A = this chain, B = another copy of it.
Amino acid sequence: MLGGGPYTTESDNRGPFLTARRADVAVVGGGPIGLAVAWRAASRGMRVLLHDPRPGSGASAVAAGMLAPVAEASFGEEELTRLLLDSAARWPDFAVEVAAAAGLAGSAELGFRTEGTLVVGRTADDLAEARRLWSYQQGLGLPITALNATELHDREPLLAPRVRGGAHAPDDHQVDPRRLVAALRTAAESAGVVFVPSTVRGLDEIDAGTVVVAAGCGAAELTGLPIRPVKGQILRLRAPGGEAPGFRHVIRGYADGRSVYLVPRHDGEVVVGATVEERGDTTVTAGGVRDLLHAATELVPELAEYELVEAVAGHRPGTPDNAPLIGPLAGRPQVVVATGHYRHGILLTPVTADLVVDLLASGVPDPVLAPFSPDRFDGYRSAPGLTGPGWDGPELAEPGLAHPELANRELAHPGLAASGPAREEIR
């Protein structure tokens, strides 16, 4: 009965008893990447445990879910751009497979949308900044088409009249990360992944053929790798009257030198993101929310009438070069790392899961992983060993702002120390 499961029957002088069969793979971290690795591995017949006290409660709960390899392609990041494009190309099939495995009607139920992204600028300076980047992207052969103000307003009439120009990236799609996580959990459970709601404090606690560390910022403590939290504040608005938002494209814009993105969902939600702050707290600040709302309403004035339903902060796992860490840990081939995805965790989920599971099956890293080897920062190692102060689940997002049950609910939440730099950059 338990033959294929995680338990096996043994006996001692008191008779037979159940014991845990050693897992082939133990995944630490139940965000999209950990869940996708677990699901794919279990689907290939491996016995998989996934350790997370609160799956899906980390950065993915905060993320907007832009799948934007083109608009995210930056100067000097050709190798990362190739990985982003590779993963973006896998997304349509991945979304269909996840949805099917979760019993959903289709990828639309994950919030997967393919209208593409408009990159827009409001002032000459903003537009020049945007143009500089998309010219670079065009030079890489990426599909991005310049549009004048009339063409932009034809596509999205709600854009502010002062938006002067921009570009269309037709292949930059979107997904709803919260729906994605829910579906991946169902898919993983259906494939036989066993969820262990425990806190992993050191990798030596785990007995498995291979351990996959997909713990976001928490991977720093478990592996000593140089991963730092990069705070992001993000808002969720809702269109009035339960309607869908009045625009269809993801809109990335520059307003007064600040970058902001607006992600419309069919269910009426509009995600407005995000600050990029080099600090480890998760305080939702007056300045962060002010700047996001200002920039958003400068690009789409009608958003001023939308309901503000949530303001929240989370931590992106950043690395010294802000490219991910994917592959075996130096000298410990039984520990595979999949973290450090910074702002690209949702986009990179399919390619990361595929490459990690290939590695688990073959024991050999794909050459495409070479630039993302976890040992490329050996000089940066923050700790020599693998036993840090422990890991208490994924980097928890600040509970943030959302509708309480009562208006006069007393908020016991104390203010968190905001000791970081005062300047906040929105990207």
Given that A285-B307, A290-B294, A297-B290 are contacting pairs, would A399 and B405 also be in contact in the complex, using a CB cutoff of 8 Å? Answer: yes
A106 CB to nearest chain B CB (Å): 21
Among B236, B289, B407, point to the contact of A312 (Cβ < 8 A): B407
Flag if A411 contacts B403 (CB, 8 Å).
yes
Given that A61-B408, A268-B415, A408-B178 are contacting pairs, would A306 and B289 also be in contact in the complex, using a CB cutoff of 8 Å? Answer: no
- Chain B, residue nearest A405 (CB): B399
Among B307, B312, B414, point to the contact of A283 (Cβ < 8 A): B307
Residues of B within 8 Å of A56, CB to CB, are 408
User: Residue-by-residue, is A231-244 near B (CB-CB < 8 Å gives 1, otherwise 0)?
Assistant: 00001111111110
A52 CB to nearest chain B CB (Å): 13
> Is there a chain B Cβ closer than 8 Å to A398's Cβ?
yes
Residues of B within 8 Å of A314, CB to CB, are 407
User: Residue-by-residue, is A279-296 near B (CB-CB < 8 Å gives 1, otherwise 0)?
Assistant: 000011111011001101
> Is there a chain B Cβ closer than 8 Å to A310's Cβ?
yes
Flag if A416 contacts B307 (CB, 8 Å).
yes
Among B239, B307, B309, B411, point to the contact of A309 (Cβ < 8 A): B411
A54–B406 Cα gap in the complex (Å)? Answer: 10
Residues of B within 8 Å of A272, CB to CB, are 286
Residues of B within 8 Å of A408, CB to CB, are 56-57, 61, 178, 181, 397
B-contacting residues, A380-421, CB 8 Å = 396-411, 413-419
> Is there a chain B Cβ closer than 8 Å to A169's Cβ?
no
Given that A293-B293, A294-B290 are contacting pairs, would A305 and B418 also be in contact in the complex, using a CB cutoff of 8 Å? Answer: yes
B-contacting residues, A301-341, CB 8 Å = 303-312, 314
A310 CB to nearest chain B CB (Å): 6
Given that A57-B407, A411-B403 are contacting pairs, would A304 and B283 also be in contact in the complex, using a CB cutoff of 8 Å? Answer: no
A104–B422 Cα gap in the complex (Å)? Answer: 39
Residues of B within 8 Å of A422, CB to CB, are 304-305
B-contacting residues, A233-289, CB 8 Å = 235-243, 268, 272, 283-287, 289
Flag if A400 contacts B400 (CB, 8 Å).
no
A180 CB to nearest chain B CB (Å): 12
Residues of B within 8 Å of A415, CB to CB, are 238-243, 268, 306-307, 309
> Is there a chain B Cβ closer than 8 Å to A41's Cβ?
no
A55 CB to nearest chain B CB (Å): 10
> Is there a chain B Cβ closer than 8 Å to A62's Cβ?
yes
Residues of B within 8 Å of A310, CB to CB, are 401, 411
A61–B408 Cα gap in the complex (Å)? Answer: 5
Among B181, B405, B407, point to the contact of A61 (Cβ < 8 A): B407
- Chain B, residue nearest A397 (CB): B407
Residues of B within 8 Å of A238, CB to CB, are 413-415
Q: Taking beta carbons and an 8 Å cutoff, which residues of A are in contact with B?
A: 54, 56-57, 61-62, 178, 181, 235-243, 268, 272, 283-287, 289-290, 293-294, 296-297, 303-312, 314, 396-411, 413-419, 422, 424
User: Which 10 pairs show the lowest CB-CB distances between chains A and B?
Assistant: A287-B304, A397-B407, A61-B408, A290-B293, A401-B401, A240-B418, A238-B415, A402-B404, A399-B403, A241-B417
Mind listing 21 A-B residue pairs with CB under 8 Å?
A56-B408, A178-B408, A240-B418, A241-B415, A242-B415, A268-B415, A286-B305, A286-B306, A287-B305, A290-B293, A307-B418, A309-B401, A311-B401, A396-B407, A398-B403, A399-B404, A399-B405, A401-B402, A401-B404, A402-B402, A403-B413
